[in-house]
Amino acid sequence: MGKFYHEAHHVAKLATLHPSHRHLDIDSGVGYNKNNSSMSDGVHMHRRILHVDLDAFFASVEQALDPSLEGKPVVVGGKPGGRGVVSSASYEARVFGIRSAMPLSRAYRLCPQAVFVDGHFSYYRIASQRFMSILDDYSPHVEPGGIDEAYVDLTGSEALFGPAHGVAQRIRERVWDELRITASVGLSTSKVVSKVASDLDKPDGLVEVMPGEEAAFLAPLPVRRLPGVGPKTEQVLKGVGVAAIGDLAALSPSYLCCLFGKTGALLGSWARGEDGSPVEERGEARSISRCATLSRDTLDRPFLLGMLRYLSEKVGAELRRMEKRARVVALKVRYADFETLTRQCRLRGPTDIDQLIFGAVAELLQRQLAGAAKLVRLVGVEVSGLQAEAQLRLLPSVEDRLERLDRALDGLRLRYGYDAVQTGRTLAVQRRAGVFS
């Protein structure tokens, strides 16, 4: 186990939840023009934007935690007999065709000798925080693109840290030295071009696109490499003869707008290497969600309610850890035919209490399943409308007692594990499904 992970071992027990879904507040920053340059004291300078992407992040953390896994095909997501999907696959596993979001059963057929692990999400979060901390050492302008990637604006920092290429190399070295994870980096004048560049020489690559060479760099690449071009968009573009990014760049904005609306003009600009969007600094979480794919499709309402109670407790614990309360609770249901629905309700007041979150989502479930005949494959709980904790009430109330109870349970579970204390609903679910950790 690497030094960082060894030091973080006891901290991990304090953060056993899956990383929450986070959204960024938009921060205006300095003015940027579409030519990918910034202006300081009336003097234009080319921007220097990094996109740093940790390679096969979850799987790489597992290999760092257990050196015996180094060089072996590692699949994160659960046991191969389960119904889940691949969260991450090491590059050794990708050689066999295993990719993220692939059903675990298929991954096993492709590579039965792979090591399948459930994952250690607490370590992933700790490693992500340390990664972001490393980036913060080189710029105040860091924008996470997810738990394992971020943009860094180095414009104007050469006097402090030297050329941007050297900074990119030092960041890669520090990530390896401190986390035992490789990082791939793209360096250019814009976020879009840097993101494309960081993906071209994985793993452990560094690709720099010089100012003025953005369009030429992008032109020969397959159009699917451009951010914003998914499978459906790619099919539409292929239908009009667009195979490479350069083909897309040659289309008129008006024609692209006919194909894709306002998004079309943006894709055309990106294809020409034009992207003046600023690197936006981190904002606070706007929502928290937890979901679970069931071991088998079911309409067993007591079981579904027990699972929702478990997920509500996970969400509530994360709210209390963040010292936040939520005003909106949402239920997510995915049926066996993969139809997915979301229903939400607004609470009477902001809360971080497990019972109130569960009560709201349970009522939403009862409404959703009224008269339903389709089996349920997945359920989830999400809270939003987050705000800072309110001041304590002068007179004790039922909610005060429930909150004190929840915090006492948090302490016990952090020390002894989730299994130490459970409600009747979650205990019944665990005995049937064995899903808790």
- Where are the domains positioned within the chain? 28-55+128-283, 287-433
Tell me which DSSP letter residue 8 carries.
Answer: H
pLDDT at 405: 84
Instruction: Please count the CA atoms within 13 angstroms of the CA of 161 that sit on its side-chain side.
Output: 20
- H-assigned helices in 23-65: 57-65
Out of 143, 149, 313, 318, pick the active-site residue: 149
Is the distance from CB of 396 to CB of 303 less than 8 angstroms?
no
CATH architecture of 287-433: 2-Layer Sandwich (3.30)
pLDDT at 262: 86
Taking Cα atoms as reference points, which of 275, 274, 250, 254 lies closest to residue 264? 254
Same fold, 28-55+128-283 and 287-433: no
pLDDT at 43: 47
Sequence-ordered list of residues with C-beta below 8 angstroms from that of 345, at least 6 positions apart, any chain: 328, 329, 330, 360, 363, 364
pLDDT at 294: 83
Report pTM.
0.67
Q: Is 281 a catalytic residue?
A: no
pLDDT at 387: 86
Tokens standing for residue 403: 């909150």
pLDDT at 407: 85
The SS3 call for residue 347 is strand
pLDDT at 4: 55
pLDDT at 233: 93
Taking Cα atoms as reference points, which of 55, 286, 282 lies closest to residue 149? 55
Tokens standing for residue 58: 């979850």
pLDDT at 79: 86
Amino acid (1-letter code) at residue 204: D
Q: Was domain 28-55+128-283 assigned CATH 3.30.70.270? A: yes
- Residues in the chain with pLDDT < 70? 1-44, 282-285, 389-397, 418-420, 427-428, 430-437
The SS3 call for residue 260 is helix
First to last CA, the chain: 22
pLDDT at 389: 67
pLDDT at 62: 96
